[in-house]
Structure 1
Amino acid sequence: MQLRQMTDPNLILFDVEAESKEQVIKQLVSKLAKEDYLESEQPFLEAVLQREEVSPTGMERGLAIPHGKSTAVKKAAFAVARLKTPLEDWESIDPTNKVQLVFLIAIPTNEGGSTHLEVLSTLSTNLMRDGYMEGLMATNSKEEFLSRLDIEEKVKSNSDKKYDKTVVAITACATGIAHTYMAAEALEKAGHELGVNVLVEKQGANGIEDELTPSVIEKADAVIFATDIAPKQKERFAGKSYVQTRVAEPLRQAKEMIQKALSNPDGVVEENDSEEASQSSSSSNGSGGFLKDAVQAVMTGISYMIPVIVAAGLMMGIAKLGAMPFGLVNELHEAKYATHSNELFVILHHLDKFGVLIFKFMYPIFAAFVAYSLADRVGLVAGFIGGAFAGGLHHTFWGIEGIPSGFLGALILGLAAGYISRFLNQKIQLSKNFQAMKPMFLIPAISVLSTFFLNFYVIDPVFGGLNVVLRNWIESAQGTGDVVLASIIASATAFDLGGPINKAAGAIAIGLAADQVYPLTARVLAIVIPPIGLGLATVIDKYVVGRRVFEADLRVAGNTALLLGFIAISEGAIPFMLRNPLITIPINIIGAIVGASTAVLLGAVQWLPLPAFWGWPLVDNLWAYLLGLVVGASFIAFANIFIRFAMIKKRELAA
């Protein structure tokens, strides 16, 4: 793409004075409107600012690329601001980035899937070229700036160069935009300098680009997987030496990665002659290979699970909000509304049930894609079954009593299914005539059977035992004081967000309330404090520490968790626990204890199991209840922000 065709001299501003990114964006939007690229200024400005909340538009080396899609845009274009003073608080992929050059891209809605990604990829790629940013910053006129926007791709045009080695690569980041292309450019450039032919396939937001053909892969000496998510169609590289790394690594050490792939690879993508079989790579020989595999697997599972949580929460939220004017929020699930004379009640009833049904598939989807990340397609079935066990679907279908293992069970069973399937795929060797039996019969049979026994003898008994211990613990705490009992109930409720321990605590707490022994104040507060606190953290982090501390997918999950928290659905916060349980679980427990204890000490009393906001008016001493909610949620929000910020700074210093 020729960038100069997307702008004109009147859209280029030099020496712009601004104290915030919002001021820069508003100036550029006004300029686009003045030059008649916009039907209306305000709708496009809102679209750009909404996009800013999704993920960073600050890049590296002083560049930021805000963008927006809107029906208010008449013609695709971009405006440029070169700032007089760099901005340090523009959230960027590179945390040290000080933004001085801003490209604001305006795209009509009907071009949203093509034009803006092409502009973004071109700018991201050009950013990696030596002298590109320096040239743009050094220009003295708008005409010179325009002339420097597009550069010749000398590396790719050098057809006479002879290469002794060929390395192929896949780059893919979570959002599929900037780093996907920047990593590809870094690898190609480093390969040119080393005399190695590097060919990169980008698996970005626009799908697979520059797809590697079978003939190219066959001639390759090694492969680099620079990905933050599981690469697609990994089976094509069977038999090739490989290196697995994060997508940002080529920006720092592309040459070292190419040399490692050729001389000291992490392993070999296992050979398999069956076209229907899925492949997996062998375990990394490098330091921390197992941990890296597991972390990437969990991230992949979370990325597929979040839409399930959002969809379920929205269905239940719509149903409950629709029932509020009729006072049926807590009765909506009752069977009589399935055949009620009022058709609206019937729809709301089934919509609420539909949301509950979707939630049932949260853990199967998560565990399936955890296993998929580790073993590719051969891991999907065992992972899905493991997640079904974790969600308690076997209790439902078998008609037995039991408490599901929840998110911890899904995590363990998903990882186990992936590693077992990968091991079987590597170790089972069959003759060519029987190869199809391996992925279609042997691996599913053995991996699913292994998942069954692991759940039957370990996962269910362990978490069932935990529930028994917890129940005895809570019952023994009666009479030891309001705050002690409130702390025990709150900690158990917040531990696994709707999981088995939460449900055990709930059963006992409701029983105590039904007998007028102890109110449900601590219980209902501990349901809503964690999701509201975590959701709040994703909103205010940039104002508290001056930058984002949560990844883009967790920010989306945070918005959902915040909404679901107010309607008492705590599962919206589960992605945070899966991503980093050692941080999230203790903070949730402490926040719930602090909030519940504050409310109880100040005299808040809630006897009814109504934790959602429509139940708040029924609380005695509502001010104390709300104060406890604010205290607990604030603790969770600020603790998460400061701890994650400290971890980020530590990683930056180590790098």
Structure 2
Amino acid sequence: MILSHVTSPDLIVLDSPWQNRTEILEQLSQRLFNLGKISDKDRFLQAVWQRESLSETGFEQGIAIPHGKSDTVIHPAFAVARLTRPVEDWPTMDGEDKVDLVFLLAVPEQDDAGHLRLLSALSTALMNEENVLALKQAQSTAEFLSLLDSAETTQSHSLVNDTGKSIIVITSCSAGIAHTYMAAEALEKAGAACGVTVYSEKQGASGIEDAVNETQIRQAEGVIFAASLPPKGKARFNGKPFVATSVSEPLKNAEGLIERLLHHPDGIVTAASETDERPEGQKQGFLSQLYMGVSSGISYMIPVIVAGGLMIGIGQLAASIFGVTDIGNATFATHTNTLLVICHFLTLYGNMIMKFMYPVFAAYMAYSIADRPGLVPGFIGGAFAAGLHYTFWAVSGGIPSGFLGALILGMLAGIIANYLNRHIRLHKHLQAMKPMLIVPGLTVLILFFINFYFVDPVFGSLNQFFQQFIINHGNGSALTLAAIIASLTAFDLGGPVNKSAGAIAIGLAADHIFPLTARTLGIVIPPIGIGLATVIDKYIVRQRVFDANQRITGTTSLILGFLAIGEGAIPFMLKNPVITISINILGAVLGAIIAISLGSVQWFPLPAIWGWPLVEHLPAYLAGMFSGVIFIALANVLVRYQLIKRGKIIIH
């Protein structure tokens, strides 16, 4: 397939009078919509503007290549605008900010057919100044298309004064569409001009392309990491000089980067250090690094939540068919009904999987900060947060630190491991001891004392405070007590505070002092509400306020919510704890008060959907649940919408 096959004459506008970036993107998007390339112009435009906010899409020679990756794209395509006069509101890498040739790329969210690579070929085709000049002078649409095809098929880089040297280039950008390939192309061209062979590996949106092999690595003088994201497989280049820079830098000074690598590299990639080797001036800010760590940890944690929740759901649902509502009870381990025994152990299996939620989260959070040296310490920190040490140490009544502990210990594991890895210097014959013994050993030792003297005591005291708070207010009014139980249940979605509230609430119900209505609603309202928010956002504010990964997580949270598993919403809480916890508490309290005020009563600890028939005055219960869910969904959408408008949140 050639470039003209992913556009059409109707998508090419020569000598357009449009005067600003907004008008250009609007008009080109409309043409893509009119030709059936995208299903929703507004949502596609949102994706384009979100990409514009990440970094400039204007390049040298007055070219701009804006692009949107969205599930609204039906067929991959691009539209072109050649302007009668340059627009000056489009930032470009050369600082001229005068764009007169615009290519708007529309890329599907799931690009399994390889169209993304084809569209990226457009980016590299435009690196040739002669091609660009010819396109700007084309007399007709047909000539324009013909020039595009010829430009795409004639890219070559013949070495001038071959020096016999070669280098490796690793490129990646946050979107993985244009900059990834343009940076590689710029370095290949500069290498050819310098007589240096450049082997470029593109780590773009469609995965790793043109992966370098062992022979190329062995023969290379060094490696350039032109990347906005952490390079994958960095350990392959152990012992090689390196230069680390942004993905946009090669478009400005590719030849200078090659000279820098050959004569003044930033350092040597070492076996003991797979961390981000950028010079001090190019390192990410601490908050950005922490945010990336949280996002990385969440992405690896979600499958654990889904797997555990699914096992629990299957076990409990199957047991409910036999009228069993407490399948987790140990008596079912030796029951005469084999199916109930299987359901019992499936439920326990799911609970066991859930125990690894925080170790996986903290491990990959630390990994994002410190790379491989942080992985094991992060996992151990997460094990502390999950309370696994109490199990192994046979400590009864131990209180896990939960998601806040996982955040703190995962972050500290990464920071400590990274610091030790960078500052411990050993003789070359002892280097192997650092990643295998010294860094993990010292890091986990430090984590032991931090957890022993700070994390466990602080969160244990906090949990005991909440327990006592419930007891002290146990004789208050029904609505006050309901509000307390609902708020603490919703506070940490299955964490230690939630479990403390549950222990007190179940005890009160067992003595027939106070029903479990507020407790059961506090479990299901937050995950269902957050999940619903990711579905309805586009209908409420006419745009997406959750990114693609969050929408997938939201669907999981929604489904698990009906199974009374609140952990599906934890990823949202980890990313925005203050906002999420506050809204969850308010929604749970609202739902509980409405349900109880209307006369609903639930004495059984069965918050999942199959427990609803046991609720007294079910319509009142559902009215309260619906009110709390709607409140959480709308509040999440509207708050995030305002933060996006103010630039506090960027949707990728």
Q: 2:502–2:519: 8 Å Cα contact kept in structure 1?
A: yes
- Matched with 2:580 is 584
Secondary structure of 2:527 counterpart: helix
> CA offset at residue 578 of structure 1?
1.2
What is the deviation of 1:405? 0.7
Which of 390, 394, 397 aligns to 2:392? It is 397
Q: Is the 1:230–1:296 Cα contact (8 Å) retained in structure 2?
A: no
Determine which structure has more spread, i.e. the larger CA radius of gyration.
2
Moved more, 400-409 or 544-553: 544-553
Whether 1:643 aligns to 2:626 is no
Once residues 287 and 258 of structure 2 are traced to their aligned partners in structure 1, the CA distance between those partners, rounded to angstroms, is 20
Per the alignment, residue 89 of structure 1 pairs with: none
Superposed counterparts of 1:214-253, under 5 Å: 214=217, 218-220=221-223, 223-227=225-229, 231-233=232-234, 236=237, 250=248
User: Which letter maps to 1:319?
Assistant: G
Shift of 1:419: 1.0
Match of 2:345 among 350, 356, 361: 350
2:565 aligned with 1:564: no
Equivalent residue, structure 2, for 1:33: none
Paired letter, 1:348: C
Q: Please report the RMSD computed on the Cα atoms of aligned residues, expressed in angstroms.
A: 4.7
Moved more, 601-610 or 194-203: 194-203
> Deviations along 1:137-156, whole A, 9 cap, x unmatched?
x9988998688467427775
Q: Which residue of 2 aligns with 1:318?
A: 314
Matched ranges for 1:113-512 at <5 A: 116=113, 118-126=114-122, 130=126, 148=148, 151-152=151-152, 157=157, 159-160=159-160, 168-171=169-172, 173=174, 179-188=175-184, 200-204=200-204, 207-212=207-212, 213-214=216-217, 218-220=221-223, 223-227=225-229, 231-233=232-234, 236=237, 250=248, 255=252, 271=268, 273=270, 275=271, 278-281=274-277, 284-285=280-281, 289-328=285-324, 330-401=325-396, 402-512=398-508
The 2-side partners of 1:8 and 1:166 are apart by 35
Q: Aligned residue for 1:625?
A: 621
Could you state the TM-score of these two structures normalised by the residue count of structure 1? 0.75
CA distance in 1, matches of 2:33, 2:342: 47
The secondary structure found in structure 2 opposite 1:201 is strand
Query: Deviation of residue 483 (structure 1)?
Result: 2.4
1:460 offset after TM fit, Å? 0.7
Residues 256, 381 of structure 1: alpha-carbon distance in 2 compared, 3 angstrom cutoff: same
Q: Give the corresponding residue for 1:599.
A: 595
User: Which amino acid letter does the alignment assign opposite residue 387 of structure 1?
Assistant: G
The structural deviation recorded for 1:566 is 0.5
Local SS of the residue matching 1:390? helix
Shift of 1:24: 6.6
1:651 counterpart SS class: coil
Query: In the superposition, relative to structure 1, how do residues 189 and 208 fare at CA in structure 2: closer, same or farther (>3 Å)?
Result: closer
Cα offset, 1:344, TM superposition: 3.0
Residue 346 of structure 1 deviates from its aligned partner by: 3.2
Alignment deviations for residues 427-448 of structure 1 (CA, whole Å, 9 cap, x no partner): 1111122111111111121111
Deviations 1:161-214 (A, max 9, x none): 9999989443155xxxxx213221343466669999987532346543233543
Question: 1:408: how far off?
Answer: 0.9
- C-alpha distance in 1, partners of 2:390/2:34? 54
SS of the residue aligned with 2:646? helix
Match of 1:32 in 2: none
2:203 match: secondary structure: strand
Contact 1:172 1:231 in 2 (8 A): no
Q: Does 1:544 align with 2:549?
A: no
CA deviations 1:110-169 (Å, max 9, x no partner) are xx5xxx1x222221442576599x989x99889986884674277753644999998944
Check the 8 A contact 1:533/1:632 in 2, yes or no.
Answer: yes
Contact 2:222 2:241 survives alignment (8 Å)? no
When normalised by structure 2's length, the TM-score is 0.75
Instruction: Please give the alpha-carbon distance, in whole angstroms, between the structure 1 residues aligned to 2:364 and 2:649.
Output: 33
Matched letter for residue 335 of structure 1: A
Per-residue deviation at 1:349?
2.6
* Unpaired stretches in structure 2, ≥5 consecutive residues: 14-28, 53-64, 81-101
1:367 touches 1:415 (CA, 8 Å); kept in 2?
A: yes
Contact 2:245 2:282 in 1 (8 A): no
In the aligned structure 2, how far is the partner of 1:13 from the partner of 1:288? 39
Partner letter of residue 332 of structure 1?
I
Report if aligned partners of 1:537, 1:638 keep a CA contact under 8 Å in 2: yes
Residues 578-622 of structure 1: CA distance to partner in whole angstroms, max 9, x if unpaired?
A: 122122121212222222222222222222211111112222232
Residue deviations 1:531-564 (CA, integer Å, cap 9, x gap):
0011001111111122221122221111110000
Distance 2:477 2:418 in 1: 52
Contact 2:180/2:203 (<8 A) preserved: no
Show CA shifts across 1:61-90 (max 9, x none): 68667789xxxxxxxx9687989xxxxxxx
**Superposed counterparts of 1:102-121, under 5 Å:** 116=113, 118-121=114-117
For residue 209 of structure 2, what is the amino acid of its counterpart?
E
Q: 1:93 maps to which residue?
A: none
Aligned to 2:93: none
- Relative distance call for 1:654 and 1:312 in structure 2 (3 A) is closer
Whole-Å separation in 2 of the counterparts to 1:575 and 1:653:
16
Judge conservation of contact 1:184–1:200 (CA < 8 Å) in 2. no
Shift in Å, 1:339: 4.0
Cα distance in 2 for partners of 1:287, 1:302 equals 23
Is 1:323–1:348's contact at 8 Å kept on the other side of the alignment? yes
Contact 1:474–1:488 under 8 Å retained in 2:
yes
User: Matched residues in 2 for 1:553 and 1:281: separation?
Assistant: 28
Structure 1 residues 339 and 225: alpha-carbon distance in aligned structure 2, compared to 1, 3 A threshold: same
State the match for 2:21 in structure 1.
none
Measure the CA separation in 2 of the matches of 1:601 and 1:347.
Answer: 40
Q: Give the drift of 1:525.
A: 0.8
Question: Residues of 1 paired with 2:580 and 2:266: CA distance?
Answer: 35
Give the conservation status (yes or no) of the 8 Å contact 2:176–2:205: no
Q: Match for 1:415: what amino acid?
A: M
Q: What residue identity is the alignment partner of 2:379?
A: F
Counterpart-to-counterpart distance in 1, 2:12 and 2:559: 42
The aligned amino acid for 2:385 is A
Residues 62 and 374 (structure 1 numbering): CA distance in 2 closer, same or farther, change over 3 Å? closer
For residues 537 and 470 of structure 1, the distance between their equivalents in structure 2, rounded to whole angstroms, comes to 29
Deviation at 1:365, TM superposition (A): 0.9
* Partner SS state of residue 208, structure 2: strand
CA deviation digits over 1:32-80, x for unaligned, max 9? xxxxxxxxxxxxxxxx99xx99x97998868667789xxxxxxxx9687
In structure 1, what is the Cα distance between the partners aligned to 2:615 and 2:424? 62
**In structure 2, how many angstroms separate the alpha carbons of the residues matched to 1:211 and 1:395?**
46
Distance 1:143 1:517, change over 3 A: farther
SS at match of 2:152: coil
- For residue 16 of structure 2, what is the aligned residue in structure 1? none
Distance of 1:81 and 1:445 partners within structure 2: 53
Counterpart amino acid of 2:428?
K
For 1:389, give the aligned amino acid: F
What letter corresponds to residue 527 of structure 2 in structure 1? P
Partners of 1:323 and 1:135 in 2: how far apart? 69
Say if 2:544 is the partner of 1:553.
no
CA distance in 1 between counterparts of 2:484 and 2:231 reads 40
Deviation at residue 238 of structure 1 after TM alignment: 6.7
